[in-house]
Amino acid sequence: MGATEQTGPEAARPIVALTGVAKRFGAVRALSDARLELHAGEAHALVGENGAGKSTLIKILAGLYRPDAGSVEIDGRPVAFAGTAEAKAAGIAVIYQEPALFGDLTVAENLFVGRQPKGRFGLIDRAEMNRRAAALLERLGVRLDPDRPAGGLSIADQQIVEIAGAIALDARVLVMDEPTAALSGVEVERLFGVVRSLRDDGAAVLFISHRFDEVEALCQRVTVMRDGAHVSTDRMDEVTVEQLVRRMVGRELGAMFPKREVEPGETVLEVEGLSRAGICRDVGFTVRAGEIVALAGLVGAGRSEVVQAVFGIEPRDTGTVRVDGRTLPSGSPRAAMRAGVALVPEDRRLQGLLLDLSVMRNATLVRRGRLSRFGFLTGGAERREAAEWTARLSTKYGRLTDPAATLSGGNQQKVVLAKWLAANPRLLIVDEPTRGIDVATKAEVHRLLSELAADGVAILMVSSELLEVLGMADRVLVMREGRIAGELSRAEATEESVMLLATGQEAAA
Ligand SMILES: Nc1ncnc2c1ncn2[C@@H]1O[C@H](COP(=O)(O)OP(=O)(O)OP(=O)(O)O)[C@@H](O)[C@H]1O
Ligand SMILES: [Mg+2]
């Protein structure tokens, strides 16, 4: 595997050099021989499967964890950060996979927290603080009230605030761990514009992502990690995505969208006239057994809200939802589950996972609920069930009894998927089923969905990944501003036809 390093003019000394880094958590070896070099004026991608050790490596750089072995050098000098404050002082700003703002503080307070001596908060000049915050946000081209509590912001805006914080620090090194996982296309563009200008001003950028189109658009260099170790580092223009993927997974990948043709059966889900003030209006559709129906549209079009109303997490003002001909009461997930409906929610950290419970308990949570009507799921059966589903999704963890909180971001997602797949649903609703999941497992999730449909399960999928929609759906319902703007058959659905409906430009065309 050709590892070309330090070619061209940027062969100067790196700002950051991590060498031979190792880190264990109990029995789990998160890092064994990690290596990374970041250069001024360059965006560097770090890619690898879920659990490869990417987040752990940057937490070491951020001073959050101490390495067991290896060296961290800044400007050629070895450092041993005792905490995140020291890393910050060295000019390293990190935007973590999980947004880390204080919800109760305002945007401006979040931007300047930590750089104000403790205890003096009530005494600082708020007007001046808000002015400086507004100036920072303006540099990012965003309109955000600095006096607003951060807790009410969208994920995208929270990320922008974190980036503004990095700029306020005059960071020389900006690290972003999957910053785009919750962003729409426009927001990603805005973020990339900011990152490019920071990079061109001489900052070193590290970008972690499972989206290769973004990696290619932003980065000049790319490092692949596998099983906690360095595999390769190349100039982006000297390597193909296929090569990167092969190095990540250590084998050839099968088809990304292994869609099976299924003759749809009886109608399982019927939604009629579903409305909720300010959210959605007069939404109606059906999903038949064996069918995969996708809800497409821009972020904010109301897709997640519709599936949440169907499942009963959100109430509905008007409209009916029927499963197998039986009407579901509004606002009762319990009734939906009893009717055989499963929902894999979009925000899995908040809605899908009990972080303190073990991997095993999480994976069998729904199943146990359903089985408790007939009897107990014995310890052995629970273990077998959890082991089977987590293995089918190539979930990486130490022991089944480890708390879910210790899993990598992508592996937490897989546990949530396992939990609902194990429940053997009649109607499976998946909201962004492959967000944060690595490329090899994405293909695996698609294969599972396809198999479930072939077994007669009705599947309703919300996805912002157009290729996933086009690759997997039998029918595509495109939402715009809370309504269904149009329906496309598998044959009619193309990137163009979906986007036209999603943006409302088909009316003009
Ligand atoms: N605090 C912790 N305690 C125990 N194990 C941990 C802890 N943090 C990480 N691990 C383990 O270390 C390994 C690497 O995790 P890490 O979060 O670095 O992966 P990642 O490459 O960022 O994956 P993803 O793409 O899913 O975010 C995983 O097996 C994970 O379970
Ligand atoms: Mg991670």
Average pLDDT, rounded, for the chain: 86
Contact between 461 and 294 (Cβ < 8 Å): yes
Contact between 233 and 14 (Cβ < 8 Å): no
Mutate to test the pocket of ligand 1, among 23, 28, 397 (most ligand atoms within 8 A of CB): 28
First-to-last alpha carbon distance for the chain, in angstroms, is 50
Q: C-alpha dihedral over 239, 241, 246, 249, to 10 degrees?
A: 130
Alpha-carbon distance of 69 to 88, in angstroms, equals 22
The closest residue, in CA terms, to atom 12 on ligand 1 is 30
Residue 346 carries which DSSP code?
S
The closest residue, in CA terms, to atom 28 on ligand 1 is 51
- Residue predicted with more confidence, 41 or 153: 41
At 10, the pLDDT band (50, 70, 90 cuts) reads: very low
**Cα(65) to centroid of ligand 2, in Å?**
14
Residue 85 has pLDDT above 60, yes or no: yes
**Cα(409) to centroid of ligand 2, in Å?**
5
Nearest by Cα to 424 from 368, 356, 375? 368
Token pair 């290769």 is found at: 212
pTM of the full structure: 0.77
Beta strand ranges found along 382-469 (DSSP E): 427-431, 458-462
Q: Whose atoms come closest to the Cα of 355: which ligand?
A: 1
Alpha-carbon distance of 7 to 64, in angstroms, equals 32
| pLDDT for res 373 | 40
| pLDDT for res 121 | 54
Alpha-carbon distance of 230 to 191, in angstroms, equals 28
Q: Which helix (H) or strand (E) holds 380?
A: helix 379-392
User: Is it true that 16-101+153-249 and 267-503 share their CATH fold?
Assistant: yes
Planar angle of CA 371, 451, 431, nearest 5 degrees? 75
Kindly tell me the sign of the dihedral angle through the C-alpha atoms of 257, 258, 263, 267: negative
Alpha-carbon distance of 327 to 338, in angstroms, equals 12
Alpha-carbon distance of 449 to 447, in angstroms, equals 6
Q: C-alpha dihedral over 16, 19, 24, 25, to 10 degrees?
A: 10
Alpha-carbon distance of 36 to 487, in angstroms, equals 47
Report the CATH architecture of 267-503.
3-Layer(aba) Sandwich (3.40)
Residue 369 has pLDDT above 70, yes or no: no
Kindly tell me the sign of the dihedral angle through the C-alpha atoms of 87, 89, 90, 96: positive
How is residue 411 written in tokens?
Answer: 């592996």
Interhelix angle 439-454/409-421, nearest 10 degrees: 10
| Partners of 17 in beta bridges | 37, 73
| pLDDT for res 454 | 94
Structural domain spans, the chain: 16-101+153-249, 267-503
- Residue predicted with more confidence, 460 or 409: 460
| pLDDT for res 184 | 67
| pLDDT for res 268 | 97
**Cα(437) to centroid of ligand 2, in Å?**
10
Ligand 1 atom closest to 411 (CA): 26
| pLDDT for res 382 | 77
CATH code linked to domain 16-101+153-249? 3.40.50.300
At 377, the pLDDT band (50, 70, 90 cuts) reads: low
**Cα(57) to centroid of ligand 1, in Å?**
9
**Model confidence pLDDT, tens digit, residues 481-498:** 999 999 999 999 998 899
Contact between 311 and 336 (Cβ < 8 Å): yes
Strands 77-79 and 69-74: antiparallel
Contact between 57 and 36 (Cβ < 8 Å): yes
**Model confidence pLDDT, tens digit, residues 119-134:** 455 567 788 888 888 8
